[in-house]
Structure 1
Amino acid sequence: MDYKESAEAILQAIGGKENVSAATHCATRLRIVLHDENKIDKAALDRLDLVKGTFSTAGQFQIILGSGIVNEVYKPFIKLIGINEMSTSQVKSAGVKKQNPLLRLVKLLSDIFVPIIPAIVAGGLLMGLNNLLTAKDLFIHGKSLIDANPGIADLAAMINTFANAAFVFLPVLISFSATKRFGGNPFLGAVLGMIMVHPDLLNANEYGAASLAHKVPEWHILGFTIEKVGYQGTVLPVLVSSFILAKIEIFLRKMIPSALDNLLTPLLSILVTAVLTFTFVGPLTRTAGNLFTDGIVWLYSSTGFIGGGIFGLFYAPIVITGMHQSFIAIETQLLADIAKTGGTFIFPIASMSNVAQGAATLAVFFITKDKKLKGIGSASGISALLGITEPAMFGVNLKLKYPFIGAIIGAGVASAFITFFKVKAIALGAAGILGIISMKPSSILYFVIGLVISFVTSFSATLVLAIRESKKEQ
């Protein structure tokens, strides 16, 4: 394969080197920031054999080439446009500058929460393992595995301790990541998070009962009364406090002489931010965060399967805009407050949507006679079933339109079903077939049925729409 020739063809199709602002690549995609995406000749790109699909997101135009091919095309591509190799983060920054404020906010939340997802996933899956050991009627009628085998009771207790750690100290994780994203020292952010969950403070989970009993501990300083309450399982207070910490640190580093910088900047940054957190920022944002979480739970509970169906119907269109990244913050809060929320309903609905996209793509694979489309459809369809939908969605479904319609129909029907049975996840993970391991034990059966409904409905709807489409063409 002549990669230089392919690079030249791609460059010509996207409007020439004058239209390219930045370019990099990941494992499978060429990621380009363009001055004007209206100059793209998508038909010309589609005619290229090595192009598996294209889509635009987060200010970047991305061309799916495949593993092993994209890096070979990228080498002559950057020579043609006359730039040096760029990192993914550099191109992301260039793309973000083109976005509107709302999408920038989504990107900000994504940058903060994506790095801590592995910790939340590990904790949630351990919690699921604990539930498998302690849930009654799951394997044995009227008993749990622990009831039947008392010798493993301490094993379950140990696993439960491991599982809770990420959520008990969640503010430490969030504050580290957020402070780093806001431009401050992440280790100062970690210290702030530790202060917010210090064992000398009243645990946030006990605040409601202590408040009703008028037993909330307090500090009395210079005539002011400050509640000694921690922020376990909170998100919004940590985000706002981390932002304040980073900005105070940046300001102080500019004002304090370099000889005193390492001494005074960390001291004053932590002291001022911590005082503001417990006196003003924390109480306000904790109330706002609780109201937001309660609102989400109320909306889910009150709208029932109709609301779940609508959410499932629009989940894939939301993914196209990139705004689904903001759901990570909501899910983190739902999981952190699992005793009240019971888990997250967003992850199961995302799984229904992803499986629906995969089913629609596989339907295209079975009915199309286009060899290139068959090749893309088989691989991307299976990938979507496992939780990676971009190749299926952008490479096949959106391009043909009718598979995407079939997919959102299936996602809507399946999401309504699982919402009716209150299916919730206790961990994050791969939103697809593998999502089974993230479900509450009581939700597993209904989740599996939902996956079947999503696949069958989407596959069937796509076939029907394909027949209708072919009749139109005739």
Structure 2
Amino acid sequence: MKYDQIAKELLEAIGGKENLSALAHCATRLRLVLHDESKVNQEALDKMDAVKGTFSTGGQFQIILGAGLVNNVYHELARLTGLQEMSTTDVKDAGAKRLNPLQRFVKLLSDIFVPIIPAIVAGGLLMGINNILIAKDLIFEGKSLIEAYPEISDLAALINTFANAAFVFLPILIGFSATQRFGGNPYLGAALGMLMVHPDLLNGYDYGSALTSGSIPAWNIFGMEIEKVGYQGTVLPVLAASFILAKTEQFLRKYIPSALANLLTPLFTIFITGILTFTAVGPLTRLAGNVLTDGLVWLYDTAGVIGGALFGLGYAPIVITGMHHSFIAVETQLLADFVKTGGTFIFPVAAMSNVAQGAATLAVFLMTKDKKVKGIASAAGISAVLGITEPAMFGVNLKLRYPFIAAIIGASVSTAFITIFKVKAVALGAAGLPGIISIRPDSIVPYVIGMVISFVVTSVMTIILAKRAAKKAAQ
């Protein structure tokens, strides 16, 4: 394969080297930052055998080439343009400059929460295992597994402890990640998180009952009472506190002499931020977080089938804009407040949408006679069913349009169905077929049925819409 020729054709199709600002690559895609995406010759890209699909997101224009090929073409592009090799992070930062304020905010949330997802996933999946062990009627009628086999009760208790750790100490994880993203010392951010869940404080999960009974402990400092309440399982308070900490540290470093910086800057940063957190920032954002969580739970519980159908219908369009990354923060809060929320309902909706996108792409694979489309659709369809939808959505469904319409219809119907049964997840993960392990035990059966509905409805709709499109083309 002539990689230099492919690189030359790609360069010409994207508007020449003068239109290319930055480039990098991941396992399968070229990640490009272009000065003007309107100069891209999409028709020329679509005709190239090497190109499996393209899409634009986060200020980047991405070209799907496939594993192996992307490395060689990337090096040829770098040689032809004279641009130095960059990491995907560098390209993300370059692309972010082209985003509007709302897109930048969504990217900010993504940058903070994506690094801590593995810890949340691990805790959530362990929680799921624990739920299987303690759920009644799941395997034995009228009994749970630990009631049938008392010898494994300590194993369940151990798993439960492991599962809760990431959520009890969530402010430490967020404090580290958020402070780093805001430009501060991440270890001071972690220390702030530790301060917010210190064992001397009233556990945040007991705040509601203590408020009702009027037994909230407090510090009395110069006549001012400051509540001694922890922030276990919270998101908004530590996000706001981390931002203040990072900006306070940056301010102090400008004015404290370098000889004293390592001593005084951390001292005043933690003290000032800690005082602000417990007197104003924490209580206000705790209230805001509770209102947000209660509002989402109320909406899910009351909007019913119609609300679920609308959410399912709109999820894929939201993914196109990149706004779905903002859901990570919301889902983290829903999972952290598991006792009240019972888990996150957003993950199952994402799974229904992803399966629908995969079903539409696989239906195209079975119907089309175009060898290139067949090659892209086969791998992309399977990938989408397993939870990765970009190749299917941008490489096939959006280009043909009718599969995308079929997919959002299928997602709407299946989401309406799972809403009836209040399907929720106890962990984040691959939103698709593998997502079964993230679902609450009592929701597994309707979740599986929902995926079947999503797949069947979408496949049928894709075939119907394809025939209609073929008739129009023939007229």
Per the shorter chain, which TM-score range?
over 0.9
| Separation of aligned partners in 2, 1:325 and 1:287 | 23
Q: Which residue pairs with 1:370 in the alignment?
A: 370
Give the letter aligned to residue 41 of structure 1.
N
Superimposed CA distance per residue, residues 370-427 of structure 1 (whole angstroms, 9 cap, x where no aligned partner): 1111111110100000000000000000010000001000000000000111000011
| Separation of aligned partners in 1, 2:288 and 2:147 | 41
Is 1:94 aligned to 2:104, yes or no?
no
Q: Which residue pairs with 2:66 in the alignment?
A: 66
TM-score by length of 1: 0.99
- The percent identity for this pair of structures is 71
Superimposed CA distance per residue, residues 289-330 of structure 1 (whole angstroms, 9 cap, x where no aligned partner): 111111111111111111011001110000000000000000
Q: For 1:425, what is the secondary structure of its paired residue?
A: coil
Give the letter aligned to residue 249 of structure 2.
E
Q: Which residue pairs with 1:266 in the alignment?
A: 266
Equivalent residues in 2 for 1:23-422, closer than 5 Å: 23-422=23-422
| Separation of aligned partners in 2, 1:258 and 1:87 | 33
| Separation of aligned partners in 2, 1:377 and 1:81 | 32
Q: For 1:429, what is the secondary structure of its paired residue?
A: coil
Superimposed CA distance per residue, residues 430-463 of structure 1 (whole angstroms, 9 cap, x where no aligned partner): 0000110011110000000000000001111001
5+ long unaligned stretches in structure 2: none
Q: For 1:120, what is the secondary structure of its paired residue?
A: helix
| Separation of aligned partners in 2, 1:374 and 1:331 | 36
Superimposed CA distance per residue, residues 160-208 of structure 1 (whole angstroms, 9 cap, x where no aligned partner): 0000000000000001100000011111000000000001000111111
1:24 is displaced (CA, Å) by: 0.7
5+ long unaligned stretches in structure 1: none
| Separation of aligned partners in 1, 2:317 and 2:162 | 37
Q: Which residue pairs with 2:431 in the alignment?
A: 431
| Separation of aligned partners in 2, 1:351 and 1:337 | 22
Superimposed CA distance per residue, residues 19-51 of structure 1 (whole angstroms, 9 cap, x where no aligned partner): 111111111100111111111100000111000
Give the letter aligned to residue 385 of structure 1.
V
Superimposed CA distance per residue, residues 69-116 of structure 1 (whole angstroms, 9 cap, x where no aligned partner): 111001110121121101111111111110100000000000000000
| Separation of aligned partners in 1, 2:139 and 2:68 | 46
Q: For 1:137, what is the secondary structure of its paired residue?
A: coil
Give the letter aligned to residue 122 of structure 1.
A
Aligned residues: 474
| Separation of aligned partners in 1, 2:189 and 2:466 | 54
Q: For 2:103, what is the secondary structure of its paired residue?
A: helix
| Separation of aligned partners in 2, 1:438 and 1:237 | 27
| Separation of aligned partners in 2, 1:469 and 1:212 | 62
- Runs of 4+ in structure 1 deviating by more than 4 angstroms, as ranges, are none
Give the letter aligned to residue 229 of structure 1.
V
1:332 is displaced (CA, Å) by: 0.2
Q: For 1:61, what is the secondary structure of its paired residue?
A: strand
| Separation of aligned partners in 1, 2:423 and 2:212 | 32
Q: For 1:30, what is the secondary structure of its paired residue?
A: strand
Give the letter aligned to residue 68 of structure 2.
G
TM-score by length of 2: 0.99
Is 1:452 aligned to 2:447, yes or no?
no
Give the letter aligned to residue 23 of structure 1.
L
Superimposed CA distance per residue, residues 111-161 of structure 1 (whole angstroms, 9 cap, x where no aligned partner): 000000000000000000001111000011111111110100100001000
Superposed CA RMSD: 0.6
Q: For 1:27, what is the secondary structure of its paired residue?
A: coil
Superimposed CA distance per residue, residues 214-240 of structure 1 (whole angstroms, 9 cap, x where no aligned partner): 110000001111000000111000000
Q: For 2:240, what is the secondary structure of its paired residue?
A: helix
